[in-house]
Amino acid sequence: MTTAVTSALAGTAGSEEMPAPGRAPSGRRRRSTLTRASGLGLGVAMLWFSLLVLIPLVAVVVQATRGGWTAYVAALTSPQTVAALQLTVGHAVLVTAIDVVMGTAIAWVLVRDSFVGKRVLEVVIDIPFALPTIVAGLVLLSLYGANSPLGLQWANTSHAVTLAFLFVTLPFVVRTVQPVLMEIEPEVEEAAASLGASRFTVFRMVILPSLVPAITSGAALAFARAISEYGSLVLLSGNLPYSTEVASVRILSFIEGDQLTAAAAVASLLLVVALVVIVGLEIVSRRVARHG
Amino acid sequence: MTVPLLRRLHTRGVAAVATAAVSSLLLAGCVGGSATGSGDAGSGSSGAGGAVIHLVGYSVPKEANGAIEKKFQTTPAGQGVTFEEAYGPSGDQSRAVVNGLAADYVSFSLEPDVTRLVKAGLVDTSWNAGATKGMVADSVVVIAVRKGNPKGIKGWDDLIKPGVKIITPNPASSGSARWNTLAAYQHTISDGGSAVQAKDYLTQFFNHVQSLPGSGRDATNAFLDGDADALISYENEAILARQAGEDFDYVVPDETVKIENPAAVTTKATPKAKDYLDFVLSADGQAEFAAKGFRPVVAGTPTGSVEGANDPANPFPTPAKLTTIADLGGWEAVNTTFFEDKTGIVSQVQQATGKSQ
By CB neighbour count within 10 A (0-12 exposed, 13-18 middle, 19+ buried), where does B186 fall?
Answer: buried
Are A58 and B24 inside 8 Å of each other by CB? yes
CATH number, domain B52-137+260-296:
3.40.190.10
CB count, 10 Å around CB of A42? 18
Q: Do A50 and B23 touch (CB under 8 A)?
A: yes
The answer for A 135-194 residues in CB contact with B (under 8 A) is 141-142, 145-147, 153, 155-156
Give residue B357's pLDDT.
55
In the predicted model, is pLDDT for residue B114 greater than 80? yes
Max distance between CA atoms of chain A, in angstroms, equals 76
The domain of A173 spans 68-291
CB of B12 within 8 Å of any CB in chain A? Answer: yes
Give the ipTM. Answer: 0.72
Size of interface A-B (CB pairs under 8 A): 131
pLDDT of residue B356: 59
Residues A59 and A139 in one domain: no
pLDDT confidence of residue B29: 41
Assigned domain for A16 exists: no
What's the average model confidence in pLDDT over A31-58?
A: 85
Q: Looking at A3-7, A208-212, B307-311, which range is the least confident one?
A: A3-7
B-chain CB neighbours of A153 within 8 Å are 227
- pLDDT mean over B283-310: 91
pLDDT digits (tens, 9 = 90+) for B34-81: 333 333 444 444 444 579 999 999 988 998 999 999 999 999 999 999
Closest Cβ opposite residue B19 in set A43, A220, A255: A43
CATH node for B139-259+318-356: 3.40.190.10
Q: Specify the range with the lowest mean pLDDT, choosing from A139-153, B78-92, B144-158.
A: A139-153
Q: Is residue A1 in some structural domain?
A: no
Taking residues B328-351, report their average pLDDT: 91
Please state the rounded mean pLDDT for residues A189-205. 86
Chain B environment of A254 (Cβ under 8 Å): 341
For residue B111, what pLDDT is reported? 95
Tell me which residue of B172, B30, B41 sits closest to B95, measured CA to CA. Answer: B41
- B207-264 residue pLDDT tens: 999 999 988 888 998 899 888 999 999 999 999 999 999 999 999 999 999 999 999 9
Nearest 5°: phi and psi at B13?
Answer: -55, -45
The Cα–Cα gap between A292 and A284 comes to 11
Residue A2 has what pLDDT?
Answer: 39
Query: Which chain A residues contact residue B174 at CB under 8 A?
Result: 256
Is B307 strand, coil or helix?
coil
Domain count, chain A: 2
Say if the Cβ atoms of B1 and A217 lie within 8 Å: yes
| C-beta atoms of A50 and B170 within 8 A | no
For residue B336, the chain A residue with the least C-alpha distance is: A257
User: What stretch of H or E contains B55?
Assistant: strand B52-58
Same domain, yes or no, for A60 and A176? no
User: For residue range A93-136, what is the model confidence (pLDDT) as tens digits?
Assistant: 999 999 999 999 999 999 988 888 888 998 899 888 888 988 88
Q: Are residues A58 and A81 in the same domain?
A: no
SS3 A141: helix
Smallest CA–CA distance from A237 into chain B, residue? B211
pLDDT over 70, % of chain A: 88
Q: According to the model, what pLDDT value does residue A288 have?
A: 79
Average pLDDT of the residues in B77-95: 92
The verdict on A236 and A94 lying in the same domain is yes
B chain contacts of residue A252, beta-carbon cutoff 8 Å: 173, 214
pLDDT at position A234 is: 80
Query: Do A43 and A113 have their domain in common?
Result: no
